[in-house]
Amino acid sequence: MGTFLLKRIMQSAILLILVTVIAFGMMRLAPGGPEALYAVGGNMKAEDLARLRKSFGLDEPVHIQYVKWTTGMLTGDWGRSYRDRRPVTAVIFERIPATLELTVSALLIAIIVGVTIGVLGAIRQYSVADYAATVGAMLALSIPTFWFGLMVIYLFAVRLGWIPSGGRQTLGEPFSLVDRLHHLAAPALVLGLVLVATWSRYTRAAMLEVIGQDFVRVARAKGLSESRVLFTHALRNALVPLVTLAGIQLPLLFGGALVTESVFTWPGMGRLMVDSLSYRDYPVMMGILFITAVLVIIFNLISDFLSAMLDPRIRLI
Amino acid sequence: MSSHNDQVQDLVSDWKSGRVDRRTFIARAMAIGFSLSMASALLLTTDATAAGVATKRTLTSKPQGEPVKGGQVIIGLSQEPTLFNPVLSNLEVDRGVQYAIFDSLFRIDDGALFVPNLATEIPTPGNGGVSADGLNYTFKVRQDAKWHDGTPVTAKDVLFTHTTIMNPDIPSPIKLGHDKVASAELVDDYTLTVTLSEPFAPFLIVWSDTFIVPQHILEGQDLLTSDFNSTKPVGSGPFTYVNRTPGESIELAANPAYHGPGPYLETVIVKYLQDTNILYTQFKTGEVDYTGIQGITAAHYEEAITLADRVINKAPTAFVEFIYPNFGNPIFQDIAVREAMYLAMDKANIISQVYLNIHTPSETYLAETSWANNPNLAVHEYNPDKAKETLEAAGWVAGDGGVRGKGDLKLSFTNSTTEGNDVRAQAQQYLQQTWADVGIEMKINNMPPAVIWGDYYNKSQFDTVMVGEISGVGGDPDATARFASSQIPVLTGAGKNTMQYSNPEVDQLLADGAKEVDQEKRKEIYFKVQEILRNDLAVLPIFHYTFVEGTKTGLSNFKANAFVVSNMWNVADWYWQA
Residues of chain A contacting residue B80, judged by C-beta atoms under 8 Å apart: 275
CATH number reported for the structural domain that contains residue A135 in this entry: 1.10.3720.10
Q: Quick one: A256 and A193 in the same domain?
A: yes
Strands B136-140 and B114-116: unpaired
Instruction: Tell me the C-alpha distance between A288 and A89, whole Å.
Output: 10
Residues of chain B contacting residue A272, judged by C-beta atoms under 8 Å apart: 246-247
Q: Quick one: A140 and A161 in the same domain?
A: yes
B residues 408..437 contacting A (CB < 8 A): none
* A234 close to A311: Cβ distance less than 8 angstroms: no
SS3 B43: helix
pLDDT-derived band at B518 (thresholds 50, 70, 90) equals confident
pLDDT-derived band at B419 (thresholds 50, 70, 90) equals confident
Mutation target to probe the A interface, by most A beta carbons within 10 A, among B166, B270, B278 is B278
pLDDT-derived band at A34 (thresholds 50, 70, 90) equals confident
Task: Specify the pLDDT at position B29.
Answer: 55
User: In B386-398, which positions are buried (b, 16+ CB within 10 angstroms) versus exposed (e)?
Assistant: ebbebbeebebee
State the CB neighbour count (10 A cutoff) for residue B220. 7
Asked whether residue A282 is domain-assigned, the answer is no
Residues of chain A contacting residue B419, judged by C-beta atoms under 8 Å apart: none
Q: Do residue B90 and residue A41 have CB atoms under 8 angstroms apart?
A: yes
B445-504 pLDDT, tens per residue?
998 877 888 888 888 999 999 998 888 766 788 888 899 999 888 888 777 899 999 999
φ/ψ region of B106 (left if φ > 0, alpha if ψ in -120 to 50, else beta) reads beta
User: In B489-500, which positions are buried (b, 16+ CB within 10 angstroms) versus exposed (e)?
Assistant: bbbeebbbbbbb
DSSP state, residue B456: I
The number of angstroms, rounded, from the C-alpha of B279 to the middle of its chain's C-alpha atoms is 23
> Of A45, A60, A91, which marks where a domain is finished?
A91
* B304 close to B552: Cβ distance less than 8 angstroms: no
Rounded to a whole number of angstroms, the distance from the CA of A80 to the nearest CA of chain B is 8
Task: Specify the pLDDT at position A48.
Answer: 75
pLDDT-derived band at B142 (thresholds 50, 70, 90) equals very high
pLDDT higher than threshold 50 for residue B266: yes
Q: Is the peptide bond before A65 cis (omega within 30 degrees of 0)?
A: no
Q: Which of B280, B233, B234 is nearest to B82 (CA)?
A: B233
> Of A57, A91, A125, which marks where a domain is finished?
A91
Asked whether residue A297 is domain-assigned, the answer is no
Q: Quick one: A132 and A249 in the same domain?
A: yes
pLDDT higher than threshold 70 for residue A316: no
Q: Do residue A166 and residue B489 have CB atoms under 8 angstroms apart?
A: no
**Who's near A173: CB < 8 A, 6+ residues apart?**
A179
Q: Do residue B91 and residue A168 have CB atoms under 8 angstroms apart?
A: no
**Amino acid symbol at A125:** Q
Task: Specify the pLDDT at position B54.
Answer: 32
SS3 B434: helix
Among A90-104, B15-29, B183-197, where is mean pLDDT lowest?
B15-29
> For helices B504-515 and B519-536, what crossing angle results, to 10°?
160
A147-198 pLDDT, tens per residue?
898 899 889 988 888 888 888 888 767 788 888 899 999 999 999 888 888 8
Asked whether residue A165 is domain-assigned, the answer is yes
How much is the average pLDDT of B256-270?
91
pLDDT higher than threshold 80 for residue B49: no
Residues of chain B contacting residue A280, judged by C-beta atoms under 8 Å apart: 450
End-to-end CA distance of chain A: 8
Q: Quick one: A191 and A165 in the same domain?
A: yes
Asked whether residue A235 is domain-assigned, the answer is yes
Instruction: Tell me the C-alpha distance between A279 and A37, whole Å.
Output: 7
Residues in chain A: 317
State the CB neighbour count (10 A cutoff) for residue B35. 19
Instruction: Tell me the C-alpha distance between A283 and B21, whole Å.
Output: 63
**Amino acid symbol at B113:** L
- Contact pairs from chain A to chain B, CB under 8 Å: 166
Task: Specify the pLDDT at position A188.
Answer: 92
Task: Specify the pLDDT at position A39.
Answer: 65
Q: Look up the ipTM and state it.
A: 0.72
Strand-pairing partners, residue B311, are B551
Strand-pairing partners, residue B543, are B321, B361
Q: Do residue B481 and residue A45 have CB atoms under 8 angstroms apart?
A: yes
C-alpha dist (Å) from residue A161 to A153, A166, B32, B76, B408: 9, 12, 52, 19, 65
* B368 close to B377: Cβ distance less than 8 angstroms: no
Instruction: Tell me the C-alpha distance between B278 and B287, whole Å.
Output: 11
Rounded to a whole number of angstroms, the distance from the CA of B210 to the nearest CA of chain A is 13
A40-79 pLDDT, tens per residue?
655 666 677 778 888 888 888 888 989 989 998 888 889 8
Instruction: Tell me the C-alpha distance between A245 and A199, whole Å.
Output: 8
φ/ψ region of A32 (left if φ > 0, alpha if ψ in -120 to 50, else beta) reads left
Q: Which of A52, A84, A58 is nearest to B171 (CA)?
A: A52
- State what percent of residues in chain A have pLDDT above 90: 11
* Cα angle value B468/B474/B475 (rounded, 5°): 65
Residues of chain B contacting residue A34, judged by C-beta atoms under 8 Å apart: 450
Rounded to a whole number of angstroms, the distance from the CA of B141 to the nearest CA of chain A is 26
State the CB neighbour count (10 A cutoff) for residue B120. 13
- State what percent of residues in chain B have pLDDT above 70: 88
Looking at per-residue pLDDT, the higher value among B250 and B8 belongs to B250
Residue A229, domain extent: 96-267
pLDDT-derived band at A122 (thresholds 50, 70, 90) equals confident
Report the run of H or E that residue B323 belongs to, with start and end. Answer: strand B310-325
Q: Quick one: A86 and A216 in the same domain?
A: no
Rounded to a whole number of angstroms, the distance from the CA of B80 to the nearest CA of chain A is 9
φ/ψ region of B288 (left if φ > 0, alpha if ψ in -120 to 50, else beta) reads beta
How much is the average pLDDT of B548-555?
91
Considering chain B, what is the average pLDDT of its residues? 86
Asked whether residue A279 is domain-assigned, the answer is no
Among A212-216, B12-16, B179-183, B363-367, where is mean pLDDT lowest?
B12-16
The number of angstroms, rounded, from the C-alpha of A51 to the middle of its chain's C-alpha atoms is 38
Residues of chain A contacting residue B91, judged by C-beta atoms under 8 Å apart: 37-38, 41-42
Question: A302: exposed, middle or buried (C-beta count within 10 Å: 0-12, 13-18, 19+)?
Answer: middle
Tell me the backbone φ, ψ of residue A38, rounded to 5 degrees. Answer: -80, -25
pLDDT-derived band at B11 (thresholds 50, 70, 90) equals low
pLDDT-derived band at B65 (thresholds 50, 70, 90) equals low
How much is the average pLDDT of A124-141?
85
Q: Quick one: A139 and A255 in the same domain?
A: yes
pLDDT higher than threshold 50 for residue B139: yes
Which chain A residue has the Cα nearest residue B267?
Answer: A172
Strands B464-469 and B412-416: parallel
pLDDT-derived band at B37 (thresholds 50, 70, 90) equals very low
How much is the average pLDDT of B18-46?
52
Report yes or no: B456 at the A interface, CB cutoff 8 Å: yes
Q: Quick one: A152 and A52 in the same domain?
A: no
pLDDT-derived band at B72 (thresholds 50, 70, 90) equals very high
The runs of H, that is alpha helices, within A44-95 are 46-55, 62-74, 88-93
Among the partner-chain residues A30, A52, A157, the one whose CB lies closest to the CB of B285 is A157
How much is the average pLDDT of B165-177?
86
pLDDT higher than threshold 70 for residue A247: yes
Q: Is the peptide bond before B448 cis (omega within 30 degrees of 0)?
A: no
Asked whether residue A292 is domain-assigned, the answer is no
Asked whether residue A147 is domain-assigned, the answer is yes
The count of structural domains within chain A is: 2
Strand-pairing partners, residue B312, are B550
Task: Specify the pLDDT at position B61.
Answer: 44
Q: Do residue B489 and residue A46 have CB atoms under 8 angstroms apart?
A: yes
Task: Specify the pLDDT at position B58.
Answer: 45
Q: Quick one: A257 and A123 in the same domain?
A: yes
DSSP state, residue B274: S
How much is the average pLDDT of B209-214?
94
pLDDT higher than threshold 60 for residue B367: yes
Q: Quick one: A163 and A209 in the same domain?
A: yes
Q: Quick one: A106 and A146 in the same domain?
A: yes
Among the partner-chain residues A33, A41, A153, the one whose CB lies closest to the CB of B454 is A33
Instruction: Tell me the C-alpha distance between B34 and B26, whole Å.
Output: 9
Q: Quick one: A150 and A200 in the same domain?
A: yes
A200-225 pLDDT, tens per residue?
888 999 988 888 888 888 888 888 88
Check the CA dihedral B431-B433-B437-B443 and report its sign: positive
Return the top range by mean pLDDT from A115-124, A281-290, B106-115: A281-290
Q: Quick one: A216 and A162 in the same domain?
A: yes
Instruction: Tell me the C-alpha distance between B198 and B208, whole Å.
Output: 20
Strand-pairing partners, residue B551, are B290, B311
Check the CA dihedral A108-A110-A112-A115 and report its sign: negative
User: In A143-165, which positions are buried (b, 16+ CB within 10 angstroms) versus exposed (e)?
Assistant: bebeebbbebbeebbeeeeebbb
Reported as half-sphere exposure (CB side, CA atoms, 13 A), residue A44 has a value of 28
**Who's near A5: CB < 8 A, 6+ residues apart?**
none
> Of A241, A267, A293, which marks where a domain is finished?
A267
Residues in chain B: 578
Q: Do residue A43 and residue B176 have CB atoms under 8 angstroms apart?
A: yes
**Who's near B283: CB < 8 A, 6+ residues apart?**
B76, B291, B296, B304, B310, B550
Looking at per-residue pLDDT, the higher value among B385 and B11 belongs to B385
Asked whether residue A107 is domain-assigned, the answer is yes
* B498 close to B448: Cβ distance less than 8 angstroms: no
How much is the average pLDDT of B279-284?
89
Tell me the backbone φ, ψ of residue B552, rounded to 5 degrees. Answer: -75, 140
